[in-house]
Amino acid sequence: MNADGRSRLDQLPEWNALAAHRQELGDAHLRDLFAQDPERAERFTLQVGDLHLDYSKHLVTDETLRLLRELARATKVTELRDAMFRGEKINTTEDRAVLHTALRAPHSAVIRTDGKDVVPEVHAVLTKMGTFVDRVHSGEWTGHTGKRIKNVVNIGIGGSDLGPAMAYEALRAYSHRELRFHFVSNVDGADLHEALRGLDPAETLFIVASKTFTTIETITNATSARRWLLRGLEAGQEAVAKHFVALSTNAEKVAEFGIDTDNMFEFWDWVGGRYSFDSAIGLSLMLAIGQDHFREMLAGFHLVDEHFRCAPPEENAPLLLGLLGIWYGQFFDAQSHAVLPYSHYLSKFPAYLQQLDMESNGKSVDREGRPVSWQTGPVVWGTPGTNGQHAYYQLLHQGTKTIPADLIGFANPVADLPPKLAAHHDLLMANLFAQGQALAFGKTSEEVAAEGVAPELVPHRTFPGNRPTTTILAAELSPSVLGQLIALYEHKVFVQGAIWHIDSFDQWGVELGKVLAKRVEPALTEGAAVPGLDASTAALVATYRSLRGR
Ligand code: F6P
């Protein structure tokens, strides 16, 4: 039993019904499912805002979908969803509300947590960000020596890097091209070194993005950046105010670092790191695309929030995508999920989703701390489509693993592409459609043989098909569409965590490594003894020291 008196997932009749249904479905092939139902493509399509979502190439029937929705009902997904939107503390292990949806709620909304309406402060920070962005764009905000800002360096890691870096890339076509953006995350000094190469400190603004403002990678990079700035300007601490701003929940630590808290853009503990880029963490993005486009993006998020909150289960896209993932993970033993954008601008989207999904649902105990006996979050991976086709798609088509994939594409190339380059677009999208087709329907041995292929080569040239994909299309990759797309995945991850009965909003799994790194570092630098260090790590440390000539 769960704390609320419900049976555990694997004891539910709805779970067992799905297992039995999987047996019945056996090797049913998409070729036959389509042949039996001429309406399938049309029926298994949803429109959510600007997103056109085709899920007809999934290994499901109407009965599968009905049983999956029954599972969602039995596991009270909508009840947890409503509790999240109401601001209840559904992140129980950290005793926190989960209110990223409040970051994109309209001014008129009232969303309370701990008795306080959070919407006014969300909008106050957005206004403060907008004012700052306008001042930088107009040249009213200058560096210490009076020079205009030309370079923006975002220093952050995890959710304080991946979101803004991904969205900057995605919306480059909307960006102020006269500003140059750099995203520094890795504690490897090479990252900062390469980002700062050739930059004039007098024209450089650092945005230190850290929810906690204690993350060692970020503080180390920010400290080195400050040293670079002050040396370059031959100035004292007073120069920091014009070149450093902070995005954080922790005013005390920001002040301790030496950044004026007037130059701090706040957010709150009810915003998880991986759900934070539409908070103040999006400042670098807002600097790139301007506040109007940033607000359009927030409106896109909100549109899908409302869809998730209000659409009936049969038409609820995040619910559907979450359920499909559970279907493959549990009943097809799928271990991973590929995200394949047919858009160069979405090249960082899979990496962004890795944190969103894997940090949220990479858990093996349930909300009551008991081990789960079912699959939880998949390994999420991917790269832009056509590049992947010439690398790992071989395995997708003919390997032994079931890997559900999302194919994401846009009808129009971005507006500022020169006509000759925009003309590539049909070829790009033809590849997306061809891959979905090949993965689903394959090529039978009869078809191969009929082409006159030598019999011994027929098995090698046969494509089994039946590889499930979702196709997501939109007219173009606009700020609003990006917001819609991200909210779709955020809520998909939510649905899965709700069904698996895990806490999708904590990340205790990242702690141990941080603690051990702190303990090991003095052994590397000073040769200090680390009590209880295992033999393998001790030998590696000794080898490292000797290779470094220590
Ligand atoms: O790796 C753990 C983590 O806490 C992430 O969840 C978070 O996005 C990242 O580190 C950065 O944290 P912060 O914004 O506090 O520096």
User: Does 104 contact ligand 1 (Cβ within 6 A)?
Assistant: no
Q: Are 153 and 222 in contact (CB under 8 A)?
A: no
C-alpha 539/C-alpha 61 separation (Å) is 56
Both tokens of residue 329?
A: 């993970």
CA of 490 to the centre of ligand 1 (A): 17
| pLDDT one-digit tens code per residue, 166-210 | 999 999 999 999 999 999 999 999 999 999 999 999 999 999 999
Q: Is the pLDDT of residue 416 over 90?
A: no
What confidence score (pLDDT) does residue 75 get?
97
List strands edge to edge, sheet with 204-209. 180-184, 151-155, 204-209, 244-248, 264-266
Q: Is the pLDDT of residue 27 over 90?
A: yes
Active site members:
359, 390, 514
Both tokens of residue 98?
A: 């989960």
In a mutational test of the pocket of ligand 1, which residue from 154, 160, 207 has the highest number of ligand atoms less than 8 Å from its CB? Answer: 160
What confidence score (pLDDT) does residue 46 get?
98
| pLDDT one-digit tens code per residue, 33-58 | 999 999 999 999 999 999 999 999 99
Supply the DSSP string of 408-443, one letter for each residue: EEESS--TTS-HHHHTTHHHHHHHHHHHHHHHHH-B
| pLDDT one-digit tens code per residue, 307-323 | 999 999 999 999 999 99
> Of all protein residues, whose CA lies closest to atom 6 belonging to ligand 1?
273
Give the amino acid at 86.
R
Q: Is the pLDDT of residue 529 over 90?
A: no
Element (H, E) at 252: helix 251-257
What confidence score (pLDDT) does residue 52 get?
98
In a mutational test of the pocket of ligand 1, which residue from 94, 161, 166, 212 has the highest number of ligand atoms less than 8 Å from its CB? Answer: 212
CA of 326 to the centre of ligand 1 (A): 27
What confidence score (pLDDT) does residue 6 get?
81
> Of all protein residues, whose CA lies closest to atom 9 belonging to ligand 1?
158
* pLDDT band with cut points at 50, 70 and 90 for residue 385: confident
The mean pLDDT of the chain is 96
Helices within 311-384 (DSSP H only)? 317-331, 349-354, 360-361
Q: At what angle do helices 535-547 and 511-526 cross, to 10 degrees?
A: 50
Residue 409 main-chain phi, psi, to 5 deg: -150, 170
By three-state DSSP, how is residue 183 classified? strand
CA of 169 to the centre of ligand 1 (A): 21
User: Does 510 contact ligand 1 (Cβ within 6 A)?
Assistant: yes
User: Does 274 contact ligand 1 (Cβ within 6 A)?
Assistant: yes
Contacts of 41 (CB under 8 A, 6+ apart): 34, 54, 56
Q: Which of 408, 336, 369, 465 lies closest to 29 in space, CA to CA?
A: 465
> What would the mean pLDDT of 134-138 be, rounded to a whole number?
97
Contacts of 147 (CB under 8 A, 6+ apart): 200, 202, 203
* pLDDT band with cut points at 50, 70 and 90 for residue 3: confident
Both tokens of residue 208?
A: 């230190």
> What would the mean pLDDT of 87-113 be, rounded to a whole number?
97
C-alpha 9/C-alpha 23 separation (Å) is 19
Q: Report the half-sphere exposure of 14 (CA within 13 A, side-chain side).
A: 20
Ligand 1 atom with the smallest distance to the CA of 156 is 16
CA of 258 to the centre of ligand 1 (A): 21
Q: Report the half-sphere exposure of 300 (CA within 13 A, side-chain side).
A: 23
> What would the mean pLDDT of 7-17 be, rounded to a whole number?
95
Ligand 1 atom with the smallest distance to the CA of 160 is 14
For residue 201, give Cα distances in angstroms to 206, 229, 244, 267. 10, 5, 11, 28
Q: Is the pLDDT of residue 239 over 90?
A: yes
Burial category of 66 from C-beta neighbours within 10 Å (exposed 0-12, middle 13-18, buried 19 and up): middle
Rg (CA), the chain: 25
Burial category of 148 from C-beta neighbours within 10 Å (exposed 0-12, middle 13-18, buried 19 and up): middle
Both tokens of residue 60?
A: 């499901």
Q: Are 465 and 441 in contact (CB under 8 A)?
A: yes
In a mutational test of the pocket of ligand 1, which residue from 218, 357, 508, 510 has the highest number of ligand atoms less than 8 Å from its CB? Answer: 510
Q: Is the pLDDT of residue 429 over 90?
A: yes
* pLDDT band with cut points at 50, 70 and 90 for residue 272: very high
> Of all protein residues, whose CA lies closest to atom 2 belonging to ligand 1?
510
> What would the mean pLDDT of 348-353 be, rounded to a whole number?
98
* pLDDT band with cut points at 50, 70 and 90 for residue 369: very high
C-alpha 157/C-alpha 187 separation (Å) is 9
| pLDDT one-digit tens code per residue, 443-452 | 999 999 999 9
- Residues found in the chain: 550
Tell me which DSSP letter residue 549 carries.
T
Q: Is the pLDDT of residue 2 over 90?
A: no
CA 158 to chain centre: 10
* pLDDT band with cut points at 50, 70 and 90 for residue 415: confident
